[in-house]
Amino acid sequence: MAETRLPAALQGLRIPMIAAPLFIISVPDLVIAQCKAGIVGSFPALNAREAEGEPPLLDAWLTQISEELDRHNQAHPDRPAAPFAVNQIVHRSNARLDRDLEICVRHKVPIWITSLGARVEVNEAAHSCGGVVLHDIINNTFARKAMSKGADGLVAVAAGAGGHAGQQSPFALIREIREWFDGPLALSGAIATGEALLAARAMGADFGYVGSPFIATDEANAVQGYKEMIVDSGAEDIVYSSLFTGVWGNYLRGPVEAAGMDPDNLPVADASSMNFSSGSSKPKAWKSIWGAGQGIGAVKSVGSAGAIVDRMAEEYAAAGARLAQDFQG
Ligand SMILES: Cc1cc2nc3c(=O)[nH]c(=O)nc-3n(C[C@H](O)[C@H](O)[C@H](O)COP(=O)(O)O)c2cc1C
């Protein structure tokens, strides 16, 4: 990729792809594998949870990831690792935010992904260490707001995305944002093949933002049953609900049924029930109620994260070559 209008941290990826941060699931092994495979790897800062009284686990994770990627780059200067991203949940219930920002500035985190709230101070913290901020949004209004608060780029979370997701068609969302914004733009939602990645690029996005396929990987911090359910499920097995976190999102039906609920008649939750404090019971919901996006029909087996990137890179190149024929002559 030679996209010189993008910030340096987002240039030179093997394919134009950012691995999305996944609550609980994204741990250093997964992030390192994603970056070594040539795409941006990421994790939510909140995944690094130390026991009370212990030093911040986030500090240790960032040291581990940086050292491992440095070692890789020294050994393989011909195929250096892509940079990594840390996701900050910018919600008032995240009591750790200030501490986590300080740790990320100290480690000079190259890419920052912010969700659930756009705040000037968070963007300033990222910029103070040379970081690039991508803020995730589900509509054009939030996109404008995020940019007005100083983000550098956007992640447009369209219909069908795993976890918290929007309801708009990606065609509409990307089009509306591209009418006024020409900076870094990633598209999120059911991108699980190289063909879908190419479609995202054709629509005007710079990157595909891919989450659910990485749940079914050896490196993911998920129980085997969850990984297998990703492999065995398709778009019809996904339900859209606000019940589990207070924000609308996509989940696998099976565990919802197993918990004694009717996936087709779930009550609507109040947004004020959102809580990301460490003592909250809400994150536990994600342990028993499993998030996933509509693209998982493309996931056929549990394997390495690198194998997903290899597959998508091959599909991307083949789809590009096939479509290029339409424009010859
Ligand atoms: C299980 C799960 C957990 C997620 N956790 C987070 C999170 O902590 N922070 C965040 O910004 N997005 C989170 N997301 C959303 C993803 O970052 C991304 O938008 C989504 O996975 C993309 O759609 P896809 O799963 O269809 O590829 C999560 C998604 C899933 C499936």
Average pLDDT over residues 218-230: 97
Degrees to nearest 5, angle at CA 101 with 100 and 105: 120
Question: In which residue are the tokens 């750790």 written?
Answer: 96
The answer to whether residues 9 and 82 touch, using CB atoms and an 8 Å cutoff, is no
What CATH code is carried by the domain that includes residue 204? 3.20.20.70
Pairing mode, strands 249-252 and 163-164: antiparallel
**Domain-embedded: residue 48:** yes
Helix (H, G, I), strand (E, B) or coil at 293: coil
Q: What is the 3-state secondary structure (H, E, C) of 74-112?
A: HHCCCCCCCCEEEEEECCCCCCCHHHHHHHHHHCCCCEE
Position 316 scores a pLDDT of: 98
User: Is the C-beta atom of 34 inside 6 A of ligand 1?
Assistant: no
**Domain-embedded: residue 249:** no
Q: How many residues does the chain have?
A: 329
**Domain-embedded: residue 258:** no
State the DSSP string of 156-217: EE-TT-SEE---S-HHHHHHHHHTT--S-EEEESS--SHHHHHHHHHHT-SEEEE-GGGGGB
Q: Which tens digit of pLDDT belongs to each residue from 241-266?
A: 998 888 899 999 999 998 889 999 99
**Domain-embedded: residue 274:** no
Position 92 scores a pLDDT of: 85
Q: Is the pLDDT of residue 282 over 80?
A: no
User: Is the C-beta atom of 30 inside 6 A of ligand 1?
Assistant: no
Cα-to-centroid distance, 210 and ligand 1 (Å): 8
Q: In angstroms, rounded to a whole number, what is the distance separating the alpha carbons of residues 68 and 109? A: 15
**Domain-embedded: residue 256:** no
Count of other CB atoms within 10 angstroms of residue 192:
26
Ligand 1: which residue has its CA nearest to atom 30?
163
Q: Is the pLDDT of residue 6 over 70?
A: yes
What type of residue sits at position 207?
A: F
**Domain-embedded: residue 273:** no
The residue range of the domain holding 168 is 14-225+292-327
pLDDT category, 281, cuts 50, 70, 90?
very low
Least confident segment among 148-152, 171-175, 259-263, 316-320: 259-263
Q: Please tell me which of 122-136, 243-257, 268-282 the model is most confident about, judged by mean pLDDT.
A: 122-136
Position 251 scores a pLDDT of: 96
**Domain-embedded: residue 122:** yes
Q: Name the percent of the chain lying above pLDDT 90.
A: 86
User: Is the C-beta atom of 210 inside 6 A of ligand 1?
Assistant: yes
Degrees to nearest 5, angle at CA 220 with 137 and 87: 30
Number of domains in the chain: 1
163 DSSP β-pair partners: 250
**Domain-embedded: residue 287:** no
- Kindly state the tokens that stand for 147: 């940019």
Q: In angstroms, rounded to a whole number, what is the distance separating the alpha carbons of residues 147 and 149? A: 5
Position 204 scores a pLDDT of: 98
User: Is the C-beta atom of 283 inside 6 A of ligand 1?
Assistant: no
pLDDT category, 277, cuts 50, 70, 90?
low
